[in-house]
Amino acid sequence: MFICTHLLSMDSIEKTQDQQHPQYRRDRATVDTLLTSEATDYNLSELARLKIRYRGFPGARDIQKDLEKVLQKWNLTPETLYEQTRKIHAQGEVYRKQKSDQEDWV
């Protein structure tokens, strides 16, 4: 019986451990930029992209907290952010102006 209890507790520990996102370093730099920047079309798109990427992600808590700080700084809710970025993307290709053809939405 002790062995079963021990195995169950080990399993629950593994489930609660935070994971490291493979794009963490790049995303951390982007979030740091967003924290000190204005709400341009590009920055709004980046914020929305990262909010979606880290939604429900079990880790990168610092990034998730800082994304919330940016939302507050720009007086946005997730709903208003996504509404604005849908309009931005409907007008054109905001990322073509700024970046290479590499897609980074995963």
In a structure prediction context, what are the per-residue pLDDT tens digits for the chain, which is 106 residues long? 555 544 444 444 445 688 999 999 999 999 999 999 999 999 999 999 999 999 999 999 999 999 999 999 999 999 999 999 999 999 887 877 665 555 555 4
Domain boundaries, the chain: 19-98
Helix (H, G, I), strand (E, B) or coil at 59: strand
Name which of 75, 16, 86, 1 is nearest 49 in CA terms: 86
- pTM more than 0.85: no
How is residue 21 written in tokens?
Answer: 């996102």
User: Residue 59 in contact with residue 21, Cβ under 8 Å?
Assistant: yes
